[in-house]
Chains A and B, each alone.
Chain A
Amino acid sequence: MTNSPTRIDAHLTEEERHGLADDSLPPDRRADAEAHLAMCAECAGDVARLHSLMARMTQLPDTVDAELDTLWPAIRSRIERGKVVSLGGEPAARRSRRPVRQAAIVAGVAAALVLAFTLGRETRPQANVVLTPGLNTTPIVSIADSSRAYQEEVQSLLEELELRRSTMRPATAASVDRDLRIIDGAIDELTDALERDPNNPALRQLLAASYRQKRDLLKQADNAS
Chain B
Amino acid sequence: MHGVRAQVIAILIGAVASGSASAQLPVLRARALDATAAVKVFNPAGSIRLVGWDRDSIVVRGRVARGAHFFFGGSSQGVKLGIEDPINGGDSRPSDLVIYLPRRSQMSIKSASADIAGTDVSGWFYSVSGSIRLAGSATSIEAETMNGTIDLAVTVPWVRARTGDGTLTLRGAAEDVDLSTIAGTLNVVSTSIRRGRVSSVTGDIRVLGSPPADALLELSNHEGAVDLRLPRSVSGLFDLSTISGTIENGFTGARPAATSTTRSRMLRVRLGDGDAHVTVRTFKGPIRLNPR
Answer whether residue B159 sits at the interface, using C-beta atoms and an 8 A cutoff. Answer: no
* Given known contacts A172-B146, A223-B144, A183 and B201 CB-to-CB distance under 8 angstroms: yes
In the bound assembly, the distance between CA atoms of A31 and B73 in angstroms comes to: 60
The reply to whether A197 and B261 form a contact with Cβ atoms under 8 Å apart is yes
Partner of A220, one of B162, B242, B261, B262: B162
Partner of B182, one of A171, A172, A179: A179
Interface residues on A, range: 35 or more
Partner of B283, one of A175, A182, A193, A224: A193
The reply to whether B164 and A175 form a contact with Cβ atoms under 8 Å apart is yes
In the bound assembly, the distance between CA atoms of A127 and B183 in angstroms comes to: 28
Using a CB-CB cutoff of 8 Å, which residues 175-225 of chain A contact chain B?
Answer: 175-176, 178-179, 182-183, 186, 189-190, 193, 196-197, 200, 202-203, 205-206, 209-210, 212-213, 216-217, 220-221, 223-224
In the bound assembly, the distance between CA atoms of A208 and B220 in angstroms comes to: 10
In the bound assembly, the distance between CA atoms of A120 and B281 in angstroms comes to: 16
Answer whether residue B106 sits at the interface, using C-beta atoms and an 8 A cutoff. Answer: no
The reply to whether A217 and B182 form a contact with Cβ atoms under 8 Å apart is yes
A27 to chain B, nearest CB (A): 54
* Given known contacts A171-B129, A223-B110, A206 and B146 CB-to-CB distance under 8 angstroms: no
Chain B 136-162 per-residue mask, 1 if CB under 8 angstroms from chain A, else 0 = 000000001011000000000000001
A interface, by DSSP: helix, strand, loop or mixed?
Answer: helix
Partner of B262, one of A175, A176, A200: A200
Number of chain B residues whose Cβ lies closer than 8 Å to a Cβ of chain A: 37
Answer whether residue B202 sits at the interface, using C-beta atoms and an 8 A cutoff. Answer: yes
Chain A residues near B165: list those with CB within 8 A.
Answer: 175, 179
Using a CB-CB cutoff of 8 Å, which residues 94-134 of chain B contact chain A?
Answer: 110, 112, 126, 128-129
Answer whether residue B223 sits at the interface, using C-beta atoms and an 8 A cutoff. Answer: yes
Answer whether residue A78 sits at the interface, using C-beta atoms and an 8 A cutoff. Answer: no
Closest to B126 in A: A223
Chain A 97-120 per-residue mask, 1 if CB under 8 angstroms from chain B, else 0 = 000000000000000000000001
In the bound assembly, the distance between CA atoms of A175 and B162 in angstroms comes to: 14
Interface residues of B (CB under 8 A from A): 110, 112, 126, 128-129, 144, 146-147, 162, 164-165, 180, 182-183, 195, 199, 201-202, 216, 218, 220, 222-223, 239, 241-243, 259, 261-262, 264, 266, 277, 279, 281-283
Interface residues of A (CB under 8 A from B): 120-121, 124, 127, 131, 169, 171-172, 175-176, 178-179, 182-183, 186, 189-190, 193, 196-197, 200, 202-203, 205-206, 209-210, 212-213, 216-217, 220-221, 223-224
Closest 8 CB pairs of A and B: A186-B222, A209-B220, A202-B241, A179-B182, A179-B164, A197-B262, A202-B281, A224-B128
